Structure 1
Amino acid sequence: MSVVVIAGASGFIGRHLSAAFAAEGWQVRTIGRGVGADARWGSDLRPALDGSLAVVNLAGRSVSCRYTKKTADEIFSSRTETTAALGSAIADTANPPAVWLNSSTGTIYREARDRPQDERTGELGTGFSVAVARAWEHELYAAPAPVRKLALRTAITLGAGGGALSALINLARLGFGGRQGDGAQVVSWIHVDDVYAAIRHLIDAPDISGPVNLASPHPVPNAELMSLVRKEFGWLAGEEARGIPLPRAALGIGGRIIRTEPELVLKSRWLAPTVLQESGFRFRYPELADALAAIARSTPRGLLPVQLG
């Protein structure tokens, strides 16, 4: 039986990966802060890692919060310190995993409305979120662990039961599901099922290392995203449904109320999954309309719980 170690398994993506690996017959070991984890941060991680085929590190504080000094420090340290600790433990494990897949973020690239950003020609941006991503990846590559390393530059991940989509569904169900800002910012996204499929693909692709963009090949403008969300989840069904737009100023006010940053919806993130596509990966949900329709079939009515920062 193959063994996978998932760090940060209690989050939206981590829960999905854990269930999907287990359904395929893998033994899943977890690293986290809860009492149910097989290893806990600050303790000896080597027993959990020993004999595993792959480790997937998703650990990190949610970015859905206001960037105060305290939360910014937590966002930074929760990513860099756990990655460094994992690298040290892998380097000292008798039978280490063959591959280490570490979370990163598509936010590492610059604001892009002119062309897509891929792993080879993409231009890194500036600002706090980019600084976090760069430090995160630095810890991965600088770690002394002699294993294949991949930085998963993940787009907004969509799925039933949590994640970024729940807040957008709530907006649509309250009648506020119009465009955000000018609506022209590019939204790169990926269905959570394709996150799992891509990770499985990468585990079995020994020639691939370094950064990998996890994003659908068909991003959409924010206005189109919100139109499709209204169609599938809004309080009025069908193409005719309209939502109240949220201009930049309104997003700033709303962000202060719900304790999150407008950048999360205003920055134009345009990722191209070049490495995945050139290696033969096939997306189950390349089109947003199909992804949202599938998610809608598993999403209850009413307002959904949303993690607030």
Structure 2
Amino acid sequence: MQDHSARTAVVAGASGYIGRHVVEALSGRGMRVLTIGRDAPADATWDDPASLDRVLADADLLVNLAGRSVSCRYGKRNADEILASRIGTTAALGRALQRVASPSLLWINASTGTIYRDARDRPMGEADGEIGSGFSVEVARAWERELFDAPADVRKVALRMSIVLGSGGGAINPIINLARLGFGGRMGDGGQKVSWVHVDDVVGAVLHLVDHPEISGPVNVAAPEVVTNSELMAGVRAAMGRRVGLPEPAWVLEAGARIIRTEAELVLKSRWVASDVLMASGYSFVHETLESALDEIAARTPRGLLPVALG
């Protein structure tokens, strides 16, 4: 990219945790940033196809991060909302892009590393990763199918993000709360792999994809250092100045998940994701190690219990 100031980016889901960081970074590059949301002050809304056409007509980049949180019980109502919030928005964007988009546009659509199977034996790369089974995997597969089957003739990337960590939100707040309450020990047997990524590197991956037009298709976004759940919890305790954390057996997690209206799978599934495409194309992670990520988060995190959205 030679002239960032002359370019226009559109971000859907801009009000979310990752979306806010992406908007800030794109604006910092001198790009004009327009947003798509449910209502004002978004520049376009999902129920107004004409507004989608208008913001996308001159766009060079579309980043779609829209989707209901999966931190909830997977009952029928929530499951329908999770699926519809991903498939419906992606389909609407595909129709709009077919009508107005330039072939040079880059469409980055959120996806998830949860698409891969439970893995403790080896990492799952884009080329050799094995797709898993279950509700969350089926959502991911349907989400990506909607993206890649969309009739719009543009470059498409499915951003398969691992667990996103960062100060002020993301997945870290409930884990910090557990550590501060004395329950920051291993979850389940503690051996499940945890692929993670700092939000700074999610943003970095987006910018890297903008600058590398040869990349398309699925792109994993996970830091090079994978840890076990036990190592994650020990790292959080150390960063928060807590020496001891009581372990949480699987049955406790299952019971607790029902109380706070979420699924124990979110912490018990072993996720081992490798960012082969990013690494092969020269991307350098800002936070390669968990210690680096947690040090940055701890420096920016206030004392006391942190807000957590319940499902």
Whether TM-score is above 0.5 comes out as yes
Matched, 1:167 2:143: no
C-alpha distance in 1, partners of 2:294/2:23?
A: 22
Match of 2:156 among 128, 149, 152: 149
Counterpart CA distance in 2 for 1:246 and 1:49 is: 47
Q: Deviations over 1:90-122 (max 9, x none)?
A: 110154661000011000000000000000000
Alignment counterpart, residue 121 of structure 1, candidates 128, 145, 164: 128
Percent of pairs with identical residues: 60
* Bigger mean CA offset, 165-174 vs 41-50: 41-50
Q: SS state of the match for residue 297, structure 1?
A: helix
Match of 1:277 in 2: 279
Task: Using the TM superposition, give the Cα deviation of residue 48 of structure 1 relative to its aligned residue in structure 2, in angstroms.
Answer: 1.0
Corresponding position of 2:292: 290
Matched, 1:98 2:105: yes
The question of whether the paired residues in 2 share the 8 Å contact of 1:55 and 1:97 is answered with no
Aligned partners of 1:24, 1:295: CA distance in 2, in Å? 24
Given the alignment of the two structures, is residue 30 of structure 1 paired with residue 35 of structure 2, yes or no? yes
2:196 to 179, 189, 201: 189
Question: Counterparts of 1:51 and 1:95 in 2: how far apart (Å)?
Answer: 8
Instruction: Work out the CA distance in 2 between the residues paired with 1:79 and 1:96.
Output: 23
Q: Which residue matches 1:307?
A: 309
Contact 2:165–2:196 under 8 Å retained in 1: yes
Amino acid at match of 1:211: P
Query: How many angstroms apart in 2 are the aligned matches of 1:60 and 1:211?
Result: 18
Contact 1:116–1:271 (Cα < 8 Å) also in 2: yes
Letter in 2 for 1:267: K
Gaps of 5+ in 2: none
Mapped to 2, the partners of 1:49 and 1:160 lie a distance apart of: 31
Does the residue aligned with 1:255 lie in a helix, a strand or coil? helix
Structure 2 residue 95 is the aligned partner of structure 1 residue 88: yes
CA distance in 1, matches of 2:129, 2:10: 30
1:295 shift after superposition? 1.1
Taking the aligned partners of 1:24 and 1:254, their CA distance within structure 2 comes to: 43
Checking the alignment, whether the CA contact within 8 Å between 1:104 and 1:151 is kept in structure 2 is yes
Alpha-carbon separation, structure 2, partners of 1:195 and 1:135: 22
Match for residue 86 of structure 2?
79
Alignment check: 8 A CA contact 1:50 1:96 kept: no
Q: 2:228 aligns with which of 221, 225, 229?
A: 221
Cα RMSD of the aligned pairs, angstroms, is 1.0
Q: Which one-letter code corresponds to 1:86 in the other structure?
A: L
Q: Check if 1:69 corresponds to 2:108.
A: no
2:167 aligned counterpart, secondary structure: coil
State the match for 2:20 in structure 1: 15
3-state DSSP class of the match of 1:66?
Answer: coil
TM-score for both structures, normalised by structure 2: 0.96
Q: Which residue of 1 aligns with 2:67?
A: 60
**Worse-matched range after superposition: 209-218 or 14-23:** 14-23
Superposition TM-score, scaled by structure 1 size: 0.97
Offset of residue 18 of structure 1? 1.1
Give the unaligned 5+ runs of structure 1.
none
Secondary structure of the residue aligned to 1:28 is: strand
The structure 2 residue matched to 1:232, chosen from 239, 254, 266, is 239
Counterpart Cα distance in 2 of 1:218 and 1:253: 31
Please tell me whether the aligned partners of residues 101 and 152 of structure 2 are also in contact (alpha carbons under 8 angstroms). no
* Aligned CA distance change for structure 1 residues 153 and 101 (closer, same or farther; 3 Å): same
